[in-house]
Homo-oligomer: A and B are copies of this chain.
Amino acid sequence: DLPFALFAGPCAMESRDHALFMAERIKAITDKLGIQFIYKTSFDKANRTSASSARGVGLEDALPVFEAVKDAFGVPVLTDIHLPEQCAMVGEVVDVLQIPAFLSRQTDLLVAAAKTGRVIKIKKGQFLAPWDMKNVAQKVIDAGNSNILLTERGASFGYNTLVSDFRGLPTMARDTGLPIIFDATHSVQQPGGQGETSGGQREMVPTLSRAAIAVGVAGIFAETHNDPASAPSDGPNMIPLDLLETYLRELQDIDRIAKGRKNLHFFSE
């Protein structure tokens, strides 16, 4: 029942300078607030709505930047991987390998990630039930790695809409014993909702984050940017960097209450 950790950064790596700038700024905020911080960014957006959308800097250019962030600020780094063959190389540098939600049932990817020995953060597929994640996690455990984080990022609800089912958080925790992370910014995505790109409801990020923290989570995943409107991806749902501190302070207050009490259990028996 530690205070929540923060997995944050811009959706996509844009440049070495921007990555260092973002990591420094977020680190300053989380140090001030006493929050454990893991820097998150993607080197490739492998499943964009449209092929004409930007992809990212690529794995080879990204790894030295991840190293620079680690060296400069002493923060662990997280990135998502899309193919089994990427895992070993990414695992040499990156501390947390994230399995994208669409790929959460791909056995080979889960196993290759597991074999790096790094922490494996698995996003629950939008098409999966909370209780389906036990089998997903087991694929990683069977490959010899029990350092797993499970992430809620919304379930399909009709077309082009996700819904966050907060019953899923304690369900996954109970079924697996693993730490649960709430992805606050992808949960408000409207996939495909703007024709050739995904829309988002940024104004709902604090609402859903407060709910998740009150339910009880080990961490919050939130994409943030100094200028969301000009970001290459996920602009409609990222948190503006200048609001990050206020956002986190509010969550900390709720987190202290949530972690300070035993959860009430009304068993249905």
Selecting from A9-17, A71-79, A163-171, the interface stretch reads: A163-171
Kindly identify which residue among B143, B159, B188, B192 contacts A161, using a CB–CB cutoff of 8 Å: B159
The answer to whether A206 has its CB under 8 Å from any CB of chain B is yes
Number of copies: 4
Assembly CA distance A158 to B155 (angstroms): 8
Is A135 within 8 A of B166, CB to CB?
Answer: no
Kindly identify which residue among B108, B129, B236 contacts A268, using a CB–CB cutoff of 8 Å: B236
Is B163 within 8 A of A268, CB to CB?
Answer: no
Interface centre among A156, A205, A213, by most B CB within 10 Å? Answer: A156
Assembly CA distance A46 to B157 (angstroms): 26
Assembly CA distance A122 to B111 (angstroms): 25
Given A127-B126, A254-B254, A267-B202, check contact A207 B46 (CB 8 Å): no
Residue-by-residue, is A113-154 near B (CB-CB < 8 Å gives 1, otherwise 0)? 000000000000111111110010011001100000000000
Residue-by-residue, is A100-118 near B (CB-CB < 8 Å gives 1, otherwise 0)? 0011011110110000000
When distances are taken between beta carbons in the complex, the residues of chain B under 8 Å from A163 are 155, 157, 163, 165
Kindly identify which residue among B110, B126, B207 contacts A215, using a CB–CB cutoff of 8 Å: B207
Residue-by-residue, is A195-210 near B (CB-CB < 8 Å gives 1, otherwise 0)? 0100011111111101
Assembly CA distance A261 to B253 (angstroms): 10
Is B202 within 8 A of A266, CB to CB?
Answer: yes
Residue-by-residue, is A228-269 near B (CB-CB < 8 Å gives 1, otherwise 0)? 000000001001100100110010011001100101111110
When distances are taken between beta carbons in the complex, the residues of chain B under 8 Å from A201 are 167, 268
Assembly CA distance A156 to B125 (angstroms): 11
Is A132 within 8 A of B165, CB to CB?
Answer: no
Q: A167-B207, A211-B214, A239-B266 are in contact. List 20 more A-B contacts (CB 8 A).
A: A46-B106, A49-B132, A49-B135, A50-B135, A51-B135, A82-B108, A102-B125, A125-B127, A129-B160, A131-B192, A132-B160, A155-B163, A169-B207, A200-B268, A202-B267, A203-B267, A205-B266, A210-B215, A213-B214, A253-B261
11 A-B contacts, Cβ less than 8 Å apart? A46-B108, A51-B138, A157-B158, A159-B161, A170-B207, A206-B264, A213-B214, A214-B214, A240-B266, A247-B264, A250-B264
